[in-house]
A and B are shown apart, each in its own frame.
Chain A
């Protein structure tokens, strides 16, 4: 490996700017799709999981058992194995198994039960009496979910979303290597296969900065929303 000066490394990276930007967009796309799926499907699933518990609004042992078991099942797969086993589904849905959109399929699949559990845990922190007060005032189940549960848990839900985003930034790097592209893929391709350590270091630093920013924004928003 030739010796590299800092200046040379910078020049190297500057020349790669379009490629880095492309990688950021790919990572953003994978994360965006995964998080959207988590919120739109995992959120309601988490609410249902919570409401079907004994003593809750839609208490039902069977429903709760089946939902809980399914969520655990998907969550127990190591992500890389989930990716590989979902290849047929990905091909069916996207028509291809490479690229960020294809990678978003297993990411979404993993994100849904993950977020559902986080939502369920967060909702459990709401005192039962508060929900009961709403029931006593004649609130409908939908009003209770939106006006009481989600509003009382809003700060915890933002924290959950922050955790999910950061975990999935890392999952998206794995998905990237298996053909999804993105920042993690770039780091591996240049740093590992082409021995361009500077690129790898730069990509890791970029991920460090992104994680810090997400956590900071998440904490800020959660604190602002929390009036307890």
Chain B
């Protein structure tokens, strides 16, 4: 579903010179899986995730999603492609002046859906995340966990093939974290949406990922498999992340 081919991304350092955030990385993520990106702070997890929907443009290499090379697209084509790539953020990034329902409606308005279709789809998505009774509330009136559910419903609304999540539970307490992870797993299983999730916590990987890439200094150290909540790790880095959990 997602192929990253020889991706490089460097940032200009404030003091001068360059910093390699992602170094010659290739990764293949299969349709329907929950794929983790794990590593310590500064490893390049967020950058790699943002390269998938081209919020960051790679300096070289190709990003192929659902058979389409995003790096070769012009701006309008890229916008259309992004409408099928949901994104969930650590800080939720909801629009404060829109109700819950209108936040979820936003990507559908952008995509030109009719009012009736939007209303129906918003109701469905609210149902999925269990917030039907909060449709007319504003984000300021919700708890962190509820805000993230709105974020997930918003990502789900345009029936995306892929949802990208950057530390979706890092701003939440452990109990809420579990319910958000359950919600993402539920969406993956019911709708077959491929989920890519960034985290620095191994327990997130254990609880919902099928596989995960372990990152360090902008490189993939290894790709681990998860079976029955057990992570089969070989590298020292993956082991130390396991111990930290």
Contacts and interface: CB of A to CB of B under 8 A. Distances in A.
Interface in A108-143: 127, 129-130, 132-140, 143
Given A129-B91, A133-B89, A138 B97 contact: no
Contacts of B55: 132, 135-136
B189 to A, nearest CB: 24
Contacts of A147: 106, 109-110
Contact of A152 (B80, B91, B97): B97
A130 B82 contact: no
A140 to B, nearest CB: 6
Contacts of A189: none
A55 B98 CA distance: 25
A148 B107 CA distance: 12
Given A136-B53, A136-B55, A127 B93 contact: yes
Nearest to A150: B97
Contacts of B7: none
B57 interface: no
B72 interface: no
B97 A225 contact: yes
Interface in B111-139: 111, 138-139
Nearest to B85: A136
B110 A137 contact: yes
A83 B98 CA distance: 43
Contacts, number: 72
Main secondary structure of the interface of A (DSSP, over half): helix
A143 B110 contact: yes
Contact of B106 (A129, A134, A225, A228): A134
A148 B82 contact: no
Nearest to B103: A133
Nearest to B75: A140
Given A143-B110, A227-B138, A228-B140, A136 B82 contact: yes
Given A129-B89, A130-B93, A151-B95, A138 B140 contact: no
B87 interface: yes
A75 interface: no
A205 B186 CA distance: 66
Contacts of A130: 93-96
B146 interface: no
A151 B106 CA distance: 12
A130 B154 CA distance: 13
A152 B93 contact: no
Nearest to B155: A137
Interface of B: 53, 55, 76, 78-83, 85-87, 89, 91, 93-98, 106-107, 109-111, 138-140, 154, 158, 164
